[in-house]
Amino acid sequence: MSQRVLTTESGAPVADNQNSATAGAGGPILVQDQHLLEKLARFNRERIPERVVHARGSGAYGYFEVTDDVTGFTRADFLSEVGRRTETFIRFSTVADSLGGADAVRDPRGFALKFYTNEGNYDLVGNNTPVFFIKDPVKFPDFIHSQKRDPFTGRQEPDNVWDFWANSPEATHQITWLMGDRGIPASYRHMHGFGSHTYQWTNAEGEAFFVKYHFKTNQGVRSLSAEQAAEQVGKDANSHQTDLLQAIERGVNPSWTLYVQIMPAAEAADYRFNPFDVTKVWPHADHPLRRVGRLVLDRNPDNVFAEVEQAAFSPNNFVPGIGPSPDKMLQGRLFAYADAQRYRLGINHTQLPVNAPKAATVDNYGRDGLHATRYGSRQDKNYEPNSYAGPAQTGQALAAPLPVHGWTGTHEAPAHAKDDDFFQAGELYRLMSADEKDRLIANIAGGLSQVTRDDVIEKNIAHFRAADADYGKRVEEAVRALRED
């Protein structure tokens, strides 16, 4: 095999990559050493801003295969035929910590999936929990600030974490999930994934349905206790990345079965609680799981930076037959996710290989900007309408229109008959075994007992008490015991 020639960025061969050019054998370095200056300048710019949330992540390629007919509910082409396969890329992540954090920590996990369909890329951006902490995106920056490092101490502060939760009763359900046994997955392969939000499907006849996505792991759910997680972090801070990488390299390809819950759009207005409230789940008794297909991961990225760090997901990347719902948190993410990537990666981040459509052709009037690689031919115009056979609109909406009414302004979500911030948290608690409850109480008390303000502690205990009297009583007793030690 012939030796490859090292070159500069402009393609010129490099004569010496071991010694800088100097004025004489012992003299100072010369500014004319283009290779040295280019190499150092590139090194200084190798990092891009990390994600504010979901900074630490792992990714893999795979495919989604349809196993069941859902054409009665959506006209999405990639779901149109049993046996149809669509290439995918997934990014798993932790939420609160930085890029240098550890994998085995108590934190929700991002579950972001990109389908490279022949009608364009479809991004489904969810978590490993079916619910979230807040209902309205205006609270999201404050929520994340409370969970991230304090600007003065430079560390995550229990006072901040629990103070925000004390003043956000809707977080009680997600707190119960996070502090329970599934709060620290043993690996990315051994956890479920959820779309979390409510989405809209529209069939060929124009009928609208609201759906929730459930990806059930076929490896079985495995989680770590707080003690096991601490030991794992000490052994390998990259434990989840290591596990995913090695499993796929061995040919042990992880898979998930996708199910959906389906609600006819007409039922939403009179449902007993707000079906677009991301702090709540839809009971399976009301809307059973319906199988759709399976997700299989079978290829590792060749370059983690290029394909995982630069992977950009946005919930507003829909395809015909799939659209948004009035879920307020989802509505906020439709803007925020794409905007975050424009900041991190530039306006042309969609042209990066991991983000560019693979089964569809991009044809629009977007031009120029930093890192532009798509220009079109010399005859193409950059405006519309035109008389030169440029791309034109289809006139066919991706999803069914949603009715709106009322006055503009800041409104609380419309109340349904049984809207409540605590009921489902209590139901989740009552479903737990005695051992699961013991661990839940210990996990909550371990953090809450470190809070310095009594009123913040009492507010949080009141939330748990509102969910279930025994739940609140046990948290109160456990916190008191730890504070008296």
Active site residues: 54, 127
CB of 101 closer than 8 Å to CB of 148: no
89 three-class SS: strand
**How far apart are the C-alpha atoms of 172 and 166, rounded to whole Å?**
9
For the record, the structure tokens of 105 come out as 């920590």
SS3 231: helix
Q: Which of 458, 457, 471 is nearest to 422 (CA)?
A: 471
Question: CA-CA distance, 335 to 316, in Å (whole number)?
Answer: 8
Q: What dihedral do alpha carbons 122, 92, 111, 435 form, nearest 10°?
A: 170
* Alpha helices in 83-181, H assignment, sequence order: 140-147, 158-166, 172-178
* 57: β partners: 93
Write the CA distances from 297 to 63, 89, 223, 239, 257, integer angstroms: 7, 8, 20, 18, 12
Which residue do the tokens 């059930």 mark?
A: 216
Amino acid, res. 153: T
First to last CA, the chain: 69
- Give the whole-angstrom CA distance, residue 325 versus residue 342: 24
From 269, 137, 120, 285, select the one nearest 208 (Cα to Cα).
Answer: 269
74 beta partners: none
Instruction: Provide long-range contacts, Cβ within 8 A and 24+ apart, for 80-88.
Output: 86/115, 86/116, 86/117, 86/359, 87/61, 87/62, 87/63, 87/115, 87/116, 87/358, 87/359, 88/61, 88/62, 88/63, 88/64, 88/113, 88/114, 88/115, 88/116, 88/295
How far apart are alpha carbons 390 and 175 in whole angstroms? 52
Write the DSSP symbol of residue 261: E
